[in-house]
Amino acid sequence: MAAEKELTGAFGSNGAVQAAGLDLDTVQELGDQRVVLVVEDDPDTLDLLKLTLRRAGMNVVGAMDGKQAIRKWMETNPNIVLLDLMMPQMDGWETLSQLRAITDAPIIILSALTQKESVVRGLREGADDYVAKPFIGDEVVARVEAALRRSGPKTPVSKLVFPDNGLSLDLETRQVTYRERLIDLTPREFAVLEVLARQHPKPVSYEMLAKEVWGDDNEKIRERIKWIVYLLRQKMEKNPGKPELILNKTRYGYQLAAE
């Protein structure tokens, strides 16, 4: 509650009341403000960074490991990323590589690794800035604002990637890579897979697939959906009879396998 009271009375440098940003992990609207994805495995540090950035008028979304960061990036298409390096599962180095493969958005590393070698490596591998921990909140905000000024407007999400599944969809070239194989799909096959990918990890109903891909919903279209999924499994699954990627949801629809 105290933190919320602080946010309510936040002031800008000119003395004017400054609107606090939103925590997008607790609301479902983006608003018109800038979005910062904070990737940090320590809950207290994550909360502190979120609060600091919200007080500066930015929307925030958090992730506690690299895999969650990739998913949150696809869901929110942030303007900038603050990235910790020492994290479980997928560490910050791998996360940096994965993010750089799908976005040109600024990435600022926040890390307790302060050796010159780590700083040089981070910048060479695609980071735009490197801030050592422990950090000063005002400095982080200033560096975020500076990186945003240099970056210009953000671009729409052009790739959907799922590191655990080894699946990648390029929405511009309409190319699909699965387990290091390039999969040749027809436009309808790609469209069905794209809907499943965008809704991941939620299951997708026959009705949604029908309306998203065909613009209508009837029995004939639903039979067509089943045929398209059959073809996708033939092309992508190691054992189409026991699918591991596109799962059945009985009497409902399909689901892209959850991480």
Q: DSSP 3-state assignment of 48?
A: helix
pLDDT digits (tens, 9 = 90+) for 127-185: 999 999 999 999 999 999 999 999 877 778 889 998 888 899 999 999 999 998 999 99
Provide the pLDDT for residue 89. 82
Q: Is it the case that residue 217 has pLDDT exceeding 60?
A: yes
Provide the pLDDT for residue 220. 97
* Residue 23 DSSP symbol: B
pTM over 0.75: no
Look at residues 61, 246, 38 and name the one whose alpha carbon lies nearest to residue 162: 246
Q: Is it the case that residue 11 has pLDDT exceeding 50?
A: no
Domains of the chain are 2-151 (3.40.50.2300), 159-256 (1.10.10.10)
Considering only 1-5, 47-51, 74-78, 170-174, which range has the smallest mean pLDDT? 1-5
Residue ranges of alpha helices (H) inside the chain are 2-8, 43-55, 66-76, 92-100, 116-124, 137-151, 187-199, 206-213, 219-236
CA distance 143 to 156: 23
Q: DSSP 3-state assignment of 98?
A: helix
Q: Which residues does 39 contact at the CB level (< 8 Å), separation at least 6?
A: 62, 63, 64, 65, 66, 68, 69, 81, 82, 83, 84, 87, 92, 95
Percent of the chain with pLDDT over 90: 74
CA distance 32 to 43: 27
Considering only 12-21, 74-83, 92-101, which range has the smallest mean pLDDT? 12-21
